[in-house]
Amino acid sequence: MTSTEDQVTTIFPEQLLEENRVKMKNRYDKHRRPGYNYLPGDLVLVRTQPDTTSGTSHKLEVKYRGPYEIVKVLPGDRYLVQDIEGEQQSGRIYRAIVPIDRIKLIPKV
């Protein structure tokens, strides 16, 4: 047996999978930013859900509704939002639980 054969190490499939997982996570996270944590009292816009049953173009539809105020932070990156008092757009007060990916912060001036 030569000395080079003694130095060869065996790479197990679990090690390769873990190394690839770390590489892929780093590559994915390279172009991502951390989520924003909204606080109660922040003013936000809520992205609308297009009506897919109408058969019409959604190109010119309004993409966001609001402004709304965050009332409560819920677990799972969800927020309770409602109309700002005195600013409601209809007779009923809008109050809904909205996931973080449908919320856009209105910058404070």
pLDDT averaged per 10 residues, the chain (length 109): 57 87 92 82 90 80 90 91 83 89 87
Pairing of strands 43-47, 95-99: unpaired
User: Strand, coil or helix: what is 29?
Assistant: helix
pTM higher than the cut 0.85: no
Separation of first and last alpha carbons in the chain: 76
Counting Cα atoms < 13 Å in the Cβ hemisphere of 5 gives 2
Bridge partners, 95 (sequence order): 82
